[in-house]
Amino acid sequence: MDRRTLRRRAVKRVSAFFYNEEEDTPACNPDPTRVNCGEVVENPIQEDHRQICVSDDESVDEDDGIGSYMSLDEALSDWAVHFKVSLVALTALLAILRVHHPSLPKDARTLLRTTTSYTIQDLAGGTYHYFGILKAFEKSLIKIWSRIPDRHVFRLQLNVDGLPLFKSSPVQFWPILGLIHGVVRKPAVIALFCGNSKPNSLTEYVGDLVGELQQLSKGFVFHGKVCYMKVTSVICDAPARAFIKGTKSHTGYSGCGLAEVASQCRTDQSFALMSDEDHHVSMSPLSYVGFSMVTCFPHDYMHLVCFGVVRRLLDLWFAAGPLSCRLSSRQMEQISRKLIGSRQYVPMDFACKPRGLSERLRWKATELRQFLLYTGPVTLHNMLSSSVYNNFMLLSVAIFILASPSLSATFRDFAHQLLVSFVIPFSELYGPEFVTYNVHGLTHLSEDVKHRGHLDLISGFPFEDYLGRMKKMLRTPHHPLAQVIRRISEMDHLVENEALQEKRQLLKEHDHGPIPSCMVDCKVVQFEKLVTDGTIIKVSRDGDCCVKNGNHIAVIENLLQCEGKTYVVFREYQSMQPFFEYPLNSQELGIYLVGNISPQLKVIEMHRNIEKYVRLPHSDKFVAGPLLHTKQ
């Protein structure tokens, strides 16, 4: 959650509290410690399940809901957890507030309901705590339980990765994270190991996990219903995958997890039989759970493509590549100016705005993905040689297809051909020494998509985001494992106070138009911002006002509400051409070169056929393409 959202929530809650204090209406709010944080819910006992389902397209959203009423202690808990207020500071604040509100607890740990009962074990060369699968997802499962049929199979995705905690210390976390598709969007911690290195015993590290998975896979009773838990995939980077599978490192001979040296693909059966003895180091305890040890370990395209191949390409172009492919410092500055100049057009859906190439070594995975799929094809146009640019476009288009929920289903085989066509001339362009494990791994991505769905269903992005938040839970370098256990317990109690967001919200009312002539006589209310299913559309903002309506690319000029219906006022681009022809016509992907916007205003009722687009400047026109994040 960004600082702006936190600031808005804090101001809203504090303002509501003081408003209630001034009103002093005990008939409506008899408890003086109650804080009104929104409109009164007519039937607060009935939960709104409109965003709760058991499919991949919609899931429980616990980002920024605000309950109808929150007591003062609940509001303080919410504030303290989100702003990471120390227990000492919060206890001091409680001492001041208790003068006016004696019902408040004296100690911050009582207010936050910080757990004091937990077990930390010494195992595998470090300390370890097992949270448990059902315990980690219990509250989320309760919220959707009325929608779950008997004998439902939950699809669990696991993640294992190392997390260095301090720059001057070898102490690191090795968490086991989980994500249940169709139930939650955010991962939860199943187990957490802390030590100076990775666990020295795989059997001890995953022992509790294997035991619970074996029980859940046979069936479990939860609130009167029999259900099952099935592991569908394990998302790891290459070193963690080799560790958890008990195989050779990705840098070793026979290190590839999907292909043997003789180009014969590995199968679950050959892995179980250890047909390739050079590939195995030990028997992984996970093999006893019953899921596939080959197809359930897809490549994580965050590490493989973004951190691996895209970062390598940037290094080859601007530092270490052959002279025939390397760009000059002047060209580097020109590309950087284009990237920085496109910042105002990048939608709010992206976590980061584009940065210059001088900071490329500090680019995050989301920035590398943004460069590969959106800004790179535009800013590199006419900057790279035709052979190098066309080779890059093979990768960009292939990943764009595999990351799209719709395109990956129909163009998956074509994307595989593009990736093979990218890898084969790669050694000729840059040299065979640069054909690394990551470059080779591209040829397996389409097979992973075939078994597990589009790339964002099997990526490490949600887990990497959680690891970053986990690191911020630490307040001192002492007892890091105990600190995280306590912080997670505080956040678990906080979730109970959060309600679900509405699917559609109109925000920021205004009166400066434009209003189409056909609606001048109507009593309309104008808004600047529309939030629908997690997508943000803003009027008069370059990055969030471009949409596709049917077969036309349009710019949103106003948002209207009339008689309970939402209307979109827009202007369409009259010129729509393909942006590129190689390796296919860009219009097949929904990507266009647009220009000559119409002066005529049009209005339609808001519906799901309106799709948000990314619009980036290119010469005197714009390149417009689908925003894949809004299609998840």
- Range of weakest confidence among 66-75, 87-96, 140-149, 615-624: 66-75
* pLDDT-wise least confident of 466-480, 507-521, 549-563: 507-521
List of long-range contacts for 133-138, beta carbons under 8 Å, 24+ apart = 133/178, 133/190, 133/209, 133/212, 133/213, 133/216, 133/229, 134/212, 134/216, 134/220, 134/222, 136/178, 136/188, 136/189, 136/190, 137/178, 137/180, 137/183, 137/184, 137/188
Nearest to 132 by CA among 424, 474, 488: 488
To the nearest 10°, report the CA torsion of 377, 383, 385, 389.
-10
Contacts with 202 (C-beta within 8 Å, 6 or more apart), sequence order? 243, 244, 246, 282, 284, 285
Is pLDDT at 249 greater than 90 in this prediction?
A: no
Which amino acid is residue 455, in one-letter code?
L
Q: Map out the domains of the chain as residue ranges.
A: 3-48+67-112, 121-296, 301-457, 504-631
Residue 101 carries which side chain, given as an amino acid letter? H
Query: And the tokens for 150?
Result: 């008997």
Distance CA 190, CA 393 (A): 40
- Nearest CA among 497, 475, 496, 495 for reference residue 484: 475
Q: At 30, list the tokens.
A: 């008899």
Residues 6+ apart with CB under 8 A from 195: 124, 125, 126, 127, 171, 172, 174
Does residue 133 have a pLDDT over 60? yes
Kindly state the average pLDDT of the residues 26-49. 34
When pLDDT is averaged across residues 546-570 and rounded to a whole number, the result is: 88
Phi, psi of 166, deg, nearest 5:
-135, 150
DSSP string, 123-141: ETTEEEEE--HHHHHHHHH
Query: Could you read off the pLDDT of 211-225 as tens digits, one per residue?
Result: 999 999 999 998 889
Which residue in the block uniquely carries the two structure tokens 């008069």?
540
* Mean pLDDT of the residues in the chain: 83
> Sorting pLDDT into bands at 50, 70 and 90, what band is 42?
very low
Model confidence at 388, pLDDT cuts 50, 70, 90, reads: very high
- pLDDT value of position 259: 46
**584 contacts 571 by C-beta, under 8 angstroms:** no
Whole-angstrom Cα distance, residue 306 to residue 367?
Answer: 9
In angstroms, the Cα distances linking 631 to 44, 204, 456, 627 are 32, 40, 10, 7
For residues 254 and 275, is the Cβ–Cβ distance under 8 A?
Answer: no
- Nearest CA to 244 out of 253, 261, 231 is that of 231
Between 38-52, 383-397, 455-469, the lowest mean confidence (pLDDT) is in 38-52
Question: How do beta strands 525-532 and 504-510 pair?
Answer: antiparallel
Whether 600 and 575 have beta carbons less than 8 Å apart is answered as: no
| Contact indicator for 612, 547 with CB cutoff of 8 Å | yes
Distance (Å, whole) CA 533 – CA 608: 10
In this structure, what DSSP letter does residue 280 have?
A: B
Question: pLDDT band at residue 276, thresholds of 50, 70 and 90?
Answer: low
Integer Cα distance of 522 and 254 in angstroms: 71
User: First and final CA of the chain: distance in angstroms?
Assistant: 19
Flag whether pLDDT at 125 surpasses 70: yes
> How far is CA 183 from its chain centroid?
15
Element (H, E) at 470: helix 461-471
For residues 281 and 246, is the Cβ–Cβ distance under 8 A?
A: yes
* Mean pLDDT calculated for residue range 95-101: 92
Nearest to 253 by CA among 226, 291, 281: 281
pLDDT at residue number 191: 97
pLDDT at 582: 95
Q: What is the pLDDT at residue 143?
A: 85
If you average pLDDT over residues 47-66, what whole number do you get? Answer: 37
- pLDDT confidence of residue 583: 95
Q: Residue 463 contacts by C-beta under 8 Å, 6 or more apart in sequence?
A: 159, 161, 177, 179, 187, 235
The strand pair at 225-235 and 152-160 is best described as parallel
- Identity (one letter) of the amino acid at 601? L
- Name 163's bridge partners: 173
